[in-house]
Structure 1
Amino acid sequence: MGFNQRILHVFKRNKSFTYAELDPSHVSSDNEYQDEDRLLNRLSVGDDSFEHAEKGETNCCHRHHSFVRCLGWLNGLFFCLSLYLFTAAMLNWKQVPGGRERNWALKQVSEKSPLLDAIEIPLSTWRLNGTFLEREDESIYRKPPSPEVDAAWARIETQNPIPLSRQDLVNQGKDPDMYAKFPESFGFGPDAFIGRIDVFHQIHCLNRLRMHLYWNVAYYYPDEQMGKYHQLHASHCVYALLQNLMCQGNVDTYGHYWVDMQENAVPDFNINHKCRDFEAILEYHDEIAVPLEKFGALRRPLNEPVRHMSHEAKEIFRWFDNHEDDGQDGMEIL
């Protein structure tokens, strides 16, 4: 078999070999491959040294590719882990006090309120003044009726309304189409509803109970008969405050101490409470509220939906003093 035929024979066998093995410049110094027949013989028959070298190169290549693949998997794994930790950290940071979400802690124990997004309401520890006897520097809210006392109560029981959005009413589970709006002339836009903040209603109720105390009645209602309206107003306020106290469920605790004037232990009501910043709420309210006089001048527009009140409600609110009984009574009782 000639040289060219042998070369063709090697390629037809499809056996692994390196071109360097056929290059005369790579022949060793002992002239191992100088004989043409011996060289072709080894190519055609196969030589362990060739196979071992080729296997070594193949194994080295496989190890290299395996290492690259492994490194790629590790990089992907570390990337996923880093992404997970970053996302978890951001979510955790958002949900802790001091994170980006305003009033996060209050939102966990409150219904949705526009105030919780509009202003920061800090939490702070207050020492409750629960003393039984009055002091010389006693709070003005414990003092007997006077113009100064009334002014102090009026400041914190403000009844000035504020604008609410349609979504604010939806968040309360209400149908906005059944609720009254401010006119656009008030500057709140075409879809601003008349609203109030509940804490001021609670303080209003407490103040009304104070005014209805029998030793205060002569001062506040000197010429009025304490009829059905006053009785219902007081009972409404008592029950409203009771529900709010039960809803809040204050679980702060207080201790007792011994005194020389009785055998039983006496409670210590001067304890710490975690409190919302009431002044922050009041300040924001005063910035956006409509004066009560301006609100009081509003009249129901034509074609607006109304709720029909019961006959008893109309009697108590003295509707029939200025209106005839047309028999169109409803079931609403306020």
Structure 2
Amino acid sequence: MSDHMLLLKDSKHCPVCQDALHWQPEVGEDKNARHRRKYNILSVYYLILLHLICLSLLGWLFLLGKFNAGMSSRQGLEMLDFDNRYKDWVPVTYELRAENALENPPSDFMGMPNEKNTKAWDELITPTYFAASRQDLQKTKESINDSVLLGHPHNGEYYLAGLGVYHDIHCLRRLRLFLHSNYYYDRLTDVNLQYLREHLGHCIESLRRSVMCSADTNIFTFTWEDAEEVHPGIFRPNPKSNQQRKCVRWELVEKWVTDRHVPLSPVLLKPDGRQDKIMMV
């Protein structure tokens, strides 16, 4: 059996190959001509294979595009669903503000600890927790089965809840207390310090996630005015932190939670049915 017959013996379903199977060298045909004919037949094979590969790639790209479109569509629906959960929830309106943390006079929350700024921070966290109804949890798609029920005077009809921003404020306050521990704590044992460090480690991570989630993209620049001398003769420009930004009107949020708030030591309904007053800050 000749070489070209061995090469094409399984190609009976290919018309071009059938022609090749029945091809016989012409009288007087030289060896180079036979090689050219074999080359032409192999070229047909390669072209068919190349077309199949191209069609496969096109099909794969089409399916990938459909998959990505489906993913984008699902993500869009999930985002819309999330927005709908909090529609008509807390009344959020916005205003443009230009604030500077270094402005004079300082805010009530700044400075070394004293009665005034201690009171300001204590009042700020007063409405940290509020009574959420079953409908509130269902609307926001929070789990009801493992949520903590409030005891007297709510008698198991409402759940203990809070807004995320108040957890951030709680963490900032805790960090401030630890920063001025000589003022706020009479004596800290090693056990106390270990607890606070673990708690504040959680707070720092929580604040990092919160800041990166909201991602303030407003620009800030620097100024040589009142440049800080960080080393003798070496001055560092100051950041200008009074850039304009779009802010939530805080007083509306604060009023919403204040109208629903429960004490920082609420009476909670335990799983065994007993009620207990527990400090939550």
TM-score of the alignment, normalized to the shorter chain, above 0.5: yes
Query: 1:218 — aligned with what?
Result: 182
Measure how far apart 1:113 and its partner are.
5.9
- In 1, Cα distance between equivalents of 2:249 and 2:81: 16
* CA-atom RMSD in angstroms: 3.0
- Sort the Cα spacing of 1:146 and 1:112 in 2 relative to 1 into closer, same or farther, 3 A: farther
Which residues of 2 match residues 86-97 of structure 1 at below 5 A? Answer: none
Query: 1:239 — aligned with what?
Result: 205
Say if 1:181 and 1:194, in contact at 8 Å, map to a contact too.
yes
Measure how far apart 1:167 and its partner are.
4.5
- In 2, Cα distance between equivalents of 1:153 and 1:303: 34
Say if 1:162 and 1:194, in contact at 8 Å, map to a contact too.
yes
Query: 1:52 — aligned with what?
Result: none
Measure how far apart 1:292 and its partner are.
2.7
Which residues of 2 match residues 188-199 of structure 1 at below 5 A? Answer: 191-199=157-165
**Which of 251, 261, 266 is matched with 2:217 structurally?**
251
After superposition, give the CA deviation of every residue in 1:19-72 in whole Å (9 maximum; x if it has no partner). xxxxxxxxxxxxxxxxxxxxxxxxxxxxxxxxxxxxxxxxxxxxxxxxxxxxxx
- In 2, Cα distance between equivalents of 1:108 and 1:250: 22
- In 1, Cα distance between equivalents of 2:138 and 2:200: 30
**Which of 108, 113, 124 is matched with 2:95 structurally?**
124
Query: 1:83 — aligned with what?
Result: none
**One-letter amino acid of the counterpart of residue 208, structure 2:** L
TM-score normalized with structure 1 length: 0.49
- In 1, Cα distance between equivalents of 2:99 and 2:165: 18
Measure how far apart 1:298 and its partner are.
3.1
Task: Give the unaligned 5+ runs of structure 2.
Answer: 1-78, 228-233, 275-281
**Which of 128, 133, 137 is matched with 1:165 structurally?**
133
After superposition, give the CA deviation of every residue in 1:107-160 in whole Å (9 maximum; x if it has no partner). 97975666x5155322001112132xx74x211211211222111001112355
Alignment partner of 1:141 is 2:109: yes
Which residues of 2 match residues 1-334 of structure 1 at below 5 A? Answer: 117-118=88-89, 120-131=91-102, 135=104, 137-158=105-126, 160-170=128-138, 173-183=141-151, 185-186=153-154, 191-213=157-179, 216-225=180-189, 226-259=192-225, 261=227, 265-293=237-265, 295=266, 297-302=267-272
- Matched-pair identity in %: 24
- Sort the Cα spacing of 1:167 and 1:218 in 2 relative to 1 into closer, same or farther, 3 A: same
**One-letter amino acid of the counterpart of residue 206, structure 1:** L
Say if 2:125 and 2:166, in contact at 8 Å, map to a contact too.
yes
Structure 1 or 2: more strand by fraction: 2
- In 2, Cα distance between equivalents of 1:260 and 1:109: 49
Specify which structure has the bigger relative contact order, considering alpha-carbon pairs within 8 angstroms and separated by 6 or more residues.
Answer: 2
Query: 1:51 — aligned with what?
Result: none
- In 2, Cα distance between equivalents of 1:256 and 1:288: 43
- In 2, Cα distance between equivalents of 1:276 and 1:110: 19
Aligned to 1:245, the other structure's residue is in SS state: helix
- In 2, Cα distance between equivalents of 1:182 and 1:242: 31
After superposition, give the CA deviation of every residue in 1:302-325 in whole Å (9 maximum; x if it has no partner). 269xxxxxxxxxxxxxxxxxxxxx
- In 2, Cα distance between equivalents of 1:108 and 1:263: 50
- Sort the Cα spacing of 1:113 and 1:260 in 2 relative to 1 into closer, same or farther, 3 A: same
Task: Give the unaligned 5+ runs of structure 1.
Answer: 1-106, 305-334
- In 1, Cα distance between equivalents of 2:210 and 2:255: 23
Say if 2:125 and 2:170, in contact at 8 Å, map to a contact too.
yes
- Report the structure number with the largest CA radius of gyration: 1
